[in-house]
Amino acid sequence: MTSGPVTLAQLQAVISDESSFARAYGFRVEAAEGGECTLFVPFNPQFERPGGIVNGVLLMAAADVAMWLAIKTLRGLDDPSVTINMHTSFLRSARREDIRCRARVLRWGGRLSHGTAECRTAGGELLTEHSLTYTRSGRSTGPAAT
């Protein structure tokens, strides 16, 4: 479905340069290929709740963006997939620390893609689990539209 493998630099450009909704978080793409993507989520006091707890919205955004990019590793950069469902379980609080979020596409078909994501501390402690479903919006002009 894609014209060739997407690179880390291309995926980073999508979230740093082309997508204003993702830019503010400062996510960095660490790894991505074959339906998987890992983001580095740097600690930022702007996303801190009282008591030094990392805001849950940040963790949900990281899971959403990681899955979005994981889908692009399969369907190409022009893929128009958007989130239609997300379920999040908060298992532990992060406190003033960097996070890694890894997403994996479990199933992708003509219209729908489904996968999971996990956010963990730098030490590997599980913070959140996410189940995500995306649909192709039909707005692509690239090869994924066929």
Per-residue model confidence as pLDDT tens digits over 19-60: 888 888 999 999 999 999 999 999 999 999 988 899 999 999
Q: What is 8-145's CATH superfamily?
A: Hotdog Thioesterase (3.10.129.10)
pLDDT per position as a tens digit, 86-124:
999 999 999 999 999 999 999 998 899 999 999 999 999
Residue 2 has pLDDT above 90, yes or no: no
Query: Cα separation of 73 and 32, whole Å?
Result: 7
pLDDT attached to residue 33: 95
Tell me the one-letter amino acid at 138: G
Per-domain residue ranges of the chain = 8-145
**Alpha helix (H) residue ranges in 38-118:** 56-75
| Phi, psi (degrees; rounded to nearest 5) at 32 | -165, 125
The answer to whether the pTM exceeds 0.85 is: yes
The length of the chain, given as a count of residues: 146
Adjacent-strand bridge partners of 56 = none
Sheet holding 36-41, edge to edge: 28-33, 36-41, 99-108, 112-121, 126-136, 81-90
pLDDT attached to residue 3: 56
